Structure 1
Amino acid sequence: MAGALYGRVRDELLARATPLSTYRLQLHKGFPFTAAREVVPYLARLGLSDVYCSPYLKATPGSTHGYDCVDHKQLNPEVGSPEEHGAFCSTVREHGLGQVLDVVPNHMGIESFNPLWFDVLENGPSSLYARFFDIDWSPVKDELEGKVLLPVLGDQYGVVLERGELKLGFREGAFFIHYYDRTLPLAPRQYGRVLRRGLEELEGRLGVENTHLLELHSILTAIGHLPSRTETERARVIERNREKEIIKRRLAALVEASPEVAEHISTNVKAFNGTPGNPRSFDELGELLEGCSYRLAHWRVAGEEINYRRFFDINGLAAIRVEDPDVFTEAHQRIFDWLRQGCITGLRIDHPDGLYDPTAYFLNLQEQYFIERARAVFEAEHAERAELWPEVERRLRERWQGEAGAQVGSPLRKALYVAVEKIQGGRERIPEAWAVHGTTGYRFANAVGGVFVKPDAEASLTETYHRFIDEAPDFEELVYEKKRLILRDFMSSELNMLAHRLNRISEMNRRTRDFTLNSLRRALAEFIALFPVYRTYVDDWRPELDERDVRYIQDTLRHAKARNATLNASIFDFLGDVLLRRYPEHLGPHERAEMLAFAMKVQQVTGPVMAKGLEDTVFYVYHRLVSLNEVGGEPEHFGTSAEVFHTRNQERAEHWPASMLTSSTHDTKRSEDVRARINVLTELPEEWRQRVERWSQLTRAHRTELPHGVAPCPNDEYLFYQTVVGAWPMGPSLSSEGLADLRNRIRDYMLKAIKEAKVLTSWTNPDPAYEEGVARYVEACLDEGRSRAFLEDLQSFKRRIERAGQHNSIGQLLLKMISPGVADTYQGCELWDLSLVDPDNRRPVDYGLRARLLEVLDREAEANRPGLCSQLVSNMDDGRIKLFVLAESLRLRKRQSALFHHGGYRALHLVGPRADAAVAFAREHERSVVIAAAPRYTLSALESPGGLTGAYEETSLDLPESYASMTFRDVFTGQEVRPGRQAGSVVLPLAPLLAGFPLVLLERSDG
């Protein structure tokens, strides 16, 4: 039975196609399942293959993103009910679409009620869920032994306590600690302190034989016999969990039955809560809190003393140990239910670099998916023989592990579509052992935008930036400095934890025991600050380390030695031995396990430090060309060459053909259209320099003189100019209401940006004077009454580069849609979207407008396709041209699904005077051929007498000889074209093609 079932499920899963295209929907209270369901018909008509949803398990109330899940077993009630979810999924299926769901395996939200976290706070190491969270129960600070540090207070603990802001409460048999809207559990053994207060007086009133008093004494006895909160033996943990709940039920019943006991508890609660102005009256409440499994503290101490792993440095997101089988099951139970039922068909995995062992996690994911699909088949066919399933499951797992688990190349490893949010730096690649289809596309977003950056402008724009800010920052040094800042001010607790673990390891060997804790900490800090990528993937089950990981570690250690001449070089050698699994022969299994665990913990720290130091700090400090400051980007490299773009596309076609391709996401710092316009600055660097200097003079009066300088500083002022140029709405004019909206958006963005930069203000140490100065500056600059000359000059410049920016936008859209991979569209981006970083990029989307525009486009295309193209080109400001390009490209993908699933990639070269001013390639599969070409550096062409067509008059696509006899149909205009010959080569002149539409998309029509 198991063998036949295995074969059937295997064949079924391998026959499933990966997505061709996705559309990201951000689900939240303002856009629930009912609203998403209404959008599905439009998305299907657009030509998409899959809906791609943000996380929708139960999250912190008010969450607009869903990454703060508080309960893996429930839907987010703000997004909809199970019935509404079912209706949404049914509608998706009825329209022939799949559904990719965003999943968060690394962490949970703990700001609001999370039943697992609440249980940990109540019971400490003795909680049933203690091992679910990545908590160091024996941290550096002795006072935190067996406790969780909770840095949630707005002031010092003693001040908060004595102001009466911490209050004891009682409800339904349980005691709680309230801090404004936050509720924390009181440790069950501390109930006895509350109940015994004034007990003799109660006995005097009721009499020692009173039934209710006897029950109270019995409850007190039960409390005294509870296993300790530090007990970890499984049987005792279960006993404690059972008995504490029985105590609560008995106490609730007693209070219900006895008004006298209820009054006794109420009086005691009031007494414990003390009297503000009388510090000693809070001593008893302080003693209660000392007996709890958490230690309340001022929020500022988090960076140094927090002892649970977080998502980056966010205290409200606690990491979970998904490497534990029970945690894996808990976190994915509903996900697998939906996969088994066919509600969802693929997963996007958030932040895999935060996982202890991503490689093992992805294998577990694929194995469990196979088992769930097999279970669905078994239950449908053998419902009456359910007792056989455990043995069938065991055999299925053995066979899966023998085939897929042991063979990196097994297609069964990728039966479930999985895309991962992996950020790749430099030449970093995805580990081949990962059982995934690829990444979510940040690298592609930077590459496709980068090809529209003109490389010969680098020197000029660099000089302009350096002159304006009066300094010359070195990018690599800036990254190093900011990572050191993150380690020092935001994640020193993680560094301290690693240093102490390394110190314990050093004590295992007499040759390393003399390394001091301080020197080990310094070496670790240097290693992490200099590490060039997000993380390595050392694990405990593969015999050999990945060459890439070895190289990154060795190179980093070499650089660290060179930078630290005063630090004993042998410390770095020791660190390298631990990280690279070079263990001394005399060490036993326990010591080796400790060293391996340290290496794997280091990997979980390098990623957050890189992300916080680079993306969330340097990208808000280094403003040479801010369109390059994108997640996964490398602003030190001035754009992307066509050769690099083609090489990456070729590699993806061969190795990761179902990796996502994106250009805007919920995480991007600027939308694809903002970046596309800013890239035009590289086509007129001298003009940009002159404008910036003029604008600085025109807005000088709006700057505020502060004791430590001006607000905004020159660096922030330079950011403002690029931001307002990039985000100014399309069109020749802007209404007063539109200007007011833009002013508010730019002000809010600038305030976020300067806090993220952590230079003159920050989230943790704000400088109100500087922030107010920047806000006043933005408001004054974008006020017609106060800055008319600036606004007129700004709009004139924006209007000059706007058309070239639009061409960049539709050009990068075309390249994305035809490149190898799964083309993703972020919500709303089918029309012009000039959004900035969140929350700006999560504003409501008018889907009704988009659906109406698509219907009209389809009607007009059917009636007169060339005429429609001419109309779209003449009026690009309304964004319909972008919707048209997207829809036609998506429909081509569906029409040529075999080509886009399996097709090869061929870079095409151009010949002629503007050969470098376009990017072109072909996709090929059997007899199908698709050619795409996007002009770039179009500003000079658009401003030339002959326009775009005239500028490309003598430029042609150089095609392979095999294309000579082919006939192609222009997907946009519908015209038929055939290659010609020029000097013995097969060519397609660009000018005739661009005369009808500013992009080239040709589909072979004679195949």
Structure 2
Amino acid sequence: MSERPTGAGPAGGYRPAVVPVSTYRFQVQPAFTFDDAAAQAAHLRRLGASHAYLSPVLAPAKGSTHGYDVVDHARLNPEAGGREGFDRLAAALREQGLAAVADVVPNHMAVPTPASDNAQLWSVLKEGPRSPFARWFDVDWSVPDRAILMAVLGQRIGQVLAAGELSLDEAEVGGARERVLRYYDHVFPVRPGTEDLPLAQLVDRQWYRLAHWRVADEELNYRRFFDVDTLAAIRVEDREVFDASHALLLELVGRGDLQGLRIDHPDGLADPRGYLRWLAEATAGATGDGSAWVVVEKILEGDEALPRDWACAGTTGYDALHRVGGLFLDPAGAEPLTEQYVAVTGETGTFQAVVDHAKREVVEHGLYAEVHRLVDLLSGICHDDVDLRDHTRRGLHECVVELLVAFHQYRAYVVPGEQAPEEAVRVVEGAAEHARAHLPEERHDTLGVVVDLALGRAGSPEDRRVAEFVVRFQQTCGPVMAKGIEDTAFYRWFRLSSLNEVGGDPTRFGTAPEEFHSFCTVLARDWPAAMTTLSTHDTKRSEDVRARLSVLSERTEEWGAALARWRELAVEHRAAELDARTELLVWQTLFGTWGEGPINAERLLGYLQKATREAKDHTTWTAPDEVYEAAVERFATGVLGDEAVLAAVREFVELTADAARTAVLGQKFVQLAMPGVPDVYQGTELVDLSLVDPDNRRPVDYAERERRLAALDEGGAPRDLHDEKLLVVSRTLRVRREHAEHFVGEGADYSPVPTSSGNAVAFARGPVGAPAAVAVATRLPVALERLGGWGEHTLALPAGSWVDAFTGARVDGGTVRVADVLSALPVALLVRAG
């Protein structure tokens, strides 16, 4: 690990006391406990990682396999071993010279079943706004019945009462017996003084309103995470809430058990900048020696930059993921793949049109309650200002809808009471320009009012509703982006599904080496301790599935022919209900996940159910279409059971195997060697062909990984692509650890290394004048082969003598043939000898 990296970094003097050299992600859950993670401490050390990166460690809802549904900030996950298990993990890591970083969920808590598992929420449900925890939750108490909507009923409340499905009962809450209102597995508190009322009156007198589950999207009155009713937002902008919800984490930071924090969804917070400043101050106070290393799960759209006034080390790496993956995409494949997509599906619309349509659906349906709250605020503000009174509620609603649909990033960065930054003004006014084209002229003035209020440059500064609108508008932009693009449009448009990735843009096809070098130069200068990643718990496909699919950009003609052949062979499995887009997704998924053979039916069917329901074209989570889903299942199982089809797919897999190998090894190596702190997602030190969660939370066979690594360390040659990837990962991480100062320390510079071929990307790490390591990777191998291979293409190595960390081969500096450097593998890590 390295001490306090230099670089421009964020404003405000934020400097972490310790920066990881690399991290290894563990998904802690009941099936993989703190003790299970502790058992892999030695493997992490041998692999070369410096830190275990843990999914959320605080107590989540019972049975949670992801941990982002925290119910108790004062306890460590009891189903993963609790405090005792965590302490054993911390001790095991220290014994190996390692440490830990952990995921933090500041934006929301679970609304669990039973609700009594969340003590703060239970108190508010019982005592309403008088509860000492009322300030924890973002509740609109102005609704007519002054009650929190609990939309959990299977039918309308009147029907539930008539059916006798609600009853008074007793349950243990916080160690004591208490009267409760029971609805199957749900229990709710009884407001003191209402216990003896007739049941219907009792239900009506509570600080919560029981309702049919479909009511939530229209009348929910607490802020939630995206459109998930069971995740209620908390108000960490209140210092009391911040302190209480972070006390245990800060204790672990102070003990040295945690040296870094990954912040989940900061865009949902009222004031991300303020939160990060508090966190930096609090962790510095806990350690007495600088702040904890903090990275934020921030999705940057297009050329958006992370705000420089955020007190953090950078993002969690989606921006790096797309640049690295783009290196292994051939831009020349964009047009033919588009033509094939149109020919197969008949869809001629652009991806942007798909996005706009999906966002509009989300704004007008799934997030109606959030939009309704924004319009309520605007309507009240305008009604009380005689100059604005003629802007009608309907007009305000139309303008808010269009502005949200047009907004192209997760939020602006406007703080109530402060002048909006120039960038925020540019973004909001740019969205307004797009929105204006979809509004009649008589609404343009109204749109101007909405924009001015969103930027905090209209309305009375004493009017709390103005400040609330500034904040809530920004908090609504993120859910519209996430639900509209990532969770809808990405499941509707499949020119090349590997581009449909979190924070990605499927219309940006490829990264030129020059663009990559520019990105890395800025990263090394401004955010040298940011995280980089290729696979996360949120990625739609693992890094290796995406690498496999990237080959299609170079084999477009062969892919088109193969696709036509497969579709012809599979005609008997294709029901009339199956649409061509879903079929195309099946074929891309089958190819991308092909290992020793095809993906098994259980995994494929689970993925296709999620993909088709997220698309919301034919079936949804809330209204599944059994006929359509049966057609999808029939096709998928038919294909998996058809030997002629599988033989044809296997033939194409073999045709593309060499190019896939180059992409798999190349993109992982580049991610590990580039500026930043690289993360290795659990199990991906070998080739991993996982799909979106929960598929990527399957158990990892660590015994196999340990056996393979031991064989390599004993001098054995790689036997297959799994071994080759493990060799690349372990040797690169070890070089980083042994020469940490050249990768994350004061001398961790980045400089492009000239090559005479665009099929090689090379860069040096360490001081520009005397770098310590040079990374060389092959890109676009099919095009390279068509051009006759490396031939006499050269690489301009810095002066000195170099040793390849993968093969042990020695290379002298100066102009060298690329073919000599990459004779054994498509990648090379040259370390300065001595």
Q: TM-score, normalised by structure 2?
A: 0.95
Change (3 A) 1:904 1:138: same
Equivalent residue number for residue 620 of structure 2: 762
Q: What is the one-letter code of the residue matched to 1:622?
A: W
- Among residues 762, 782, 789, which one is paired with 2:644 in the alignment? 789
What residue number does 1:540 align with? 416
Output one character per residue of 1:703-730: Cα deviation in whole Å (capped at 9) or x when no partner: 223xxxx22x00111111100000011x
Question: 2: CA distance between counterparts of 1:82 and 1:174?
Answer: 28
1:570-618 per-position Cα deviation (integer Å, ceiling 9, x unaligned): 011111211222236xx4x422x43122111100000011011010111
In the other structure, the counterpart of 2:795 is 957
The 2-side partners of 1:190 and 1:802 are apart by 70
Deviation at 1:14, TM superposition (A): 6.3
For 1:876-895, list aligned pairs within 5 A: 876-877=720-721, 879-895=722-738
SS in 1 for 2:79: coil
Q: What SS does the corresponding residue of 1:910 show, helix, strand or coil?
A: coil
Correspondence for 2:504: 633
What is the 5 A alignment of 1:172-571?
A: 174-193=178-197, 284-374=198-288, 415-540=291-416, 543-571=418-446
Residue aligned with 1:995, SS: coil
Question: Which amino acid in the other structure matches residue 151 of structure 1?
Answer: A
Paired position in structure 2 for 1:148: 148
Instruction: Give the deviation of 1:996 after TM superposition.
Output: 2.7
Whether 1:89 aligns to 2:90 is yes
TM-superposed CA distance for 1:81, in Å, is 2.9
Q: Which amino acid aligns with 2:742?
A: L
SS in 2 for 1:504: helix
Contact 1:628 1:639 in 2 (8 A): no
1:940 deviates by 5.5
Partner Cα separation in structure 1 for residue 506 and residue 403 of structure 2? 22
Q: Pick one of 811, 815, 818 that aligns with 1:977.
A: 811
**1:420-443 per-position Cα deviation (integer Å, ceiling 9, x unaligned):** 100000011110000000011011
Alignment check: 8 A CA contact 1:668 1:837 kept: yes
Distance 1:958 1:563, change over 3 A: farther
Residue 772 (str. 1) matches residue 630 (str. 2): yes
Corresponding residue for residue 125 of structure 1? 129
Equivalent residue, structure 2, for 1:387: none
- Contact 1:102/1:349 (CA < 8 Å) preserved in 2? yes
In structure 2, the partner of 1:929 is 772
Partner amino acid, structure 2, of 1:186? V
- Name the aligned partner's letter for residue 128 of structure 2: G
**Shift in CA distance, 345/162, structure 1 to aligned 2, threshold 3 Å:** same
Deviation at 1:15, TM superposition (A): 8.4
Task: Tell me, in whole angstroms, the C-alpha distance in 1 between the residues paired with 2:752 and 2:423.
Answer: 28
Deviation at 1:511, TM superposition (A): 2.2
SS at structure 1 position matched to 2:831: strand
Note closer, same or farther for the CA distance 1:15–1:416 as it changes in structure 2 (3 Å cut): closer
Whole-Å separation in 1 of the counterparts to 2:449 and 2:150: 34
2:462 is paired with a residue whose SS is helix
| Unmatched 5+ stretches in structure 1 | 1-12, 194-283, 378-411, 861-867, 945-949, 981-986
Equivalent residue in structure 1 for 2:821, among 990, 993, 999: 993
Confirm or deny: 8 A CA contact 2:359 2:480 kept in the other structure: yes
Output the CA distance in 1 between the equivalents of 2:656 and 2:17.
Answer: 45
Name 2:6's counterpart in structure 1.
Answer: none
Q: Deviations over 1:494-550 (max 9, x none)?
A: 000000101111123222111111110110010011001000111136x44222111
What secondary structure, in the 3-state scheme, does the structure 2 residue paired with 1:190 have?
Answer: coil
Q: Quick one: distance in 2 between partners of 1:346 and 1:371?
A: 14
1:418: Cα distance to partner? 0.1
Following superposition, the deviation at residue 22 of structure 1 comes to: 0.2
> Does the residue aligned with 1:427 lie in a helix, a strand or coil?
coil
- Give the letter aligned to residue 621 of structure 1: R
Equivalent pair of 2:531/2:676 in contact (CA under 8 Å): yes
CA distance in 1, matches of 2:378, 2:793: 62
For 2:656, the equivalent position in structure 1 comes to 801
TM-score, normalization by structure 1: 0.79
Q: Is the 8 A contact 1:728 1:742 kept in 2?
A: no
1:761-783, CA deviations, whole angstroms, 9 ceiling, x for partnerless residues? 11122111101110111011110
Which protein has the larger Cα radius of gyration, Structure 1 or Structure 2? 1
Q: Assess if the C-alpha contact under 8 Å between 1:531 and 1:556 holds in 2.
A: yes
In structure 2, the residue matched to 1:77 is 78
Query: Does residue 920 of structure 1 match 2:762?
Result: yes
Question: Helix, strand or coil: the match of 1:563?
Answer: coil
Query: What is the Cα deviation at residue 803 of structure 1?
Result: 2.5
Structure-2 separation of matches of 1:457 and 1:71: 50
What are the Cα deviations for residues 600-647 of structure 1, in whole angstroms up to 9, with x where unaligned?
110000001101101011110110000101101110111222222111
Contact 1:445 1:661 in 2 (8 A): yes
* Structure 2: 5+ residue stretches without partners: 1-13
The residue that corresponds to 1:265 in the other structure is none
**What is the Cα-based RMSD across aligned positions, in Å?**
1.7
In the alignment, is residue 582 of structure 1 matched against residue 424 of structure 2? no
1:111 aligned partner, one-letter code: P
Aligned to 2:539: 668
Give the equivalent residue in structure 1 for 2:466: 595
Change (3 A) 1:793 1:149: same
1:749 aligns with 2:621: no
How far the C-alpha of 1:474 sits from its partner, in A, is 1.2
Q: Distance in 2 between matches of 1:31 and 1:601?
A: 37
CA distance in 2 between partners of 1:720 and 1:316 (Å): 31
Contact 1:48-1:890 within 8 A present in 2 as well: yes
Q: Is the 8 A contact 1:806 1:876 kept in 2?
A: no
Amino acid aligned to 1:347:
L
Pairwise mapping of residues 639-788 of structure 1 onto structure 2 (< 5 A)?
A: 639-705=510-576, 710-711=577-578, 713-729=579-595, 731=596, 734=597, 742-783=600-641, 787-788=642-643
1:567 Cα shift? 4.4
Native 8 Å contact 2:16 2:292 kept in 1: no
Query: Retained in 1: the 8 A contact 2:99–2:259?
Result: yes
1:908 aligns with 2:753: yes
* Shift of residue 853, structure 1, vs aligned partner: 1.4
Letter in 2 for 1:48: A
Write out per-residue CA displacement over residues 385-417 of structure 1, whole angstroms, 9 at most, x where no aligned residue.
xxxxxxxxxxxxxxxxxxxxxxxxxxx6xx220
Alignment deviations for residues 732-752 of structure 1 (CA, whole Å, 9 cap, x no partner): xx4xxxx5x612211111111
Residue 693 of structure 1, CA deviation: 1.6
The total of aligned residue pairs comes to: 811
Which secondary structure does the structure 2 equivalent of 1:149 belong to? strand
**Per-residue CA distance 1:883-917 (angstroms, 9 max, x = gap):** 11001000110121111013211123321xxx121
Shift of 1:795: 1.0
The 1:815–1:15 alpha-carbon spacing in structure 2 relative to 1, beyond 3 Å, is closer
SS where residue 468 of structure 1 aligns?
helix
Measure how far apart 1:94 and its partner are.
1.9
1:897 aligns with 2:763: no
**Mapped partners of 2:496, 2:245: distance in 1:** 41
Q: Could you tell me how far 1:942 is from its partner in structure 2?
A: 6.5
Amino acid at match of 1:697: E
Report Cα offsets for 1:816-855 as digits up to 9, x if no partner.
Answer: 1110000100000000100000111110001111112111
User: 1:296, 1:799 → 2: CA distance?
Assistant: 57
The secondary structure found in structure 1 opposite 2:18 is coil
What corresponds to 2:800 in structure 1? 966
User: Which residue number in structure 2 is paired with residue 159 of structure 1?
Assistant: 159
Amino acid at match of 1:364: W
* Aligned partner letter, 2:581: N
| Larger RCO (alpha carbons 8 Å, 6+ apart) | 2
In the superposition, relative to structure 1, how do residues 655 and 839 fare at CA in structure 2: closer, same or farther (>3 Å)? same
